[in-house]
Amino acid sequence: MHDHNHFVADITLKAVLEHRGKILMTSGDGKRWELPGGRLNNGEQPVAGVVREISEELGVDVEPTGILDAFAFVSSAGNNHLAVVYRCHPMSDINKIRPNDGEIVDMRWITQDEVDQLTMWPQYKTLLHRLFDRTA
């Protein structure tokens, strides 16, 4: 008999949206910054989930074009999460993004210089630096 210590977690789907050399970040509390997105629903496939979440949170349709990263973390509330980060291409005018007031209190397009100035999970900082280095 094997004694496994499995990581049981909520699956969080996140989107990287790039525009003019900047990446969109959102904040649900005005303090911690993250990529837009949310949790996978029961019976939902991940690609459909990230499309739904971005539509709900930002009011735009996106097309996921690939997985950029996946990482596990424990939230400040002590909950386990597995984040899957997709590169997403906006299917509508990027200037029509309107954050859902019920979920997002702030939103900004950031440059690489701003990554280390914002409070976010270390895994986000690592990913963002890697993405910005690739586009430089």
What percent of the chain has pLDDT above 70?
Answer: 96
Contact present, 23 and 109 (Cβ < 8 Å): yes
User: Has residue 1 been placed in a domain?
Assistant: no
What domain count does the chain have?
Answer: 1
User: Domain holding 125: CATH number?
Assistant: 3.90.79.10
pLDDT given at position 4: 73
Any domain includes 17: yes
pLDDT per residue as tens digits for the range 65-110? 999 999 998 888 899 999 999 999 999 888 889 999 888 999 999 9
* Residue type at position 84: V
Please indicate, yes or no, if residue 4 is contained in any of the structural domains.
no
Residue range 5-33: mean pLDDT, rounded:
93
Longest dimension (CA), the chain: 57
**Residue in the structure block whose two tokens are 């029509």:** 96
In a domain, 98, yes or no: yes
Cα(125)–Cα(50) distance, rounded to whole angstroms?
Answer: 20
Q: 57, 36 in Cβ contact below 8 A?
A: yes
For 51, the domain range is: 10-135
Q: What is the mean pLDDT of the chain?
A: 92
Q: Within a 13 Å sphere around the CA of 11, how many CA atoms are in the beta-carbon half?
A: 15
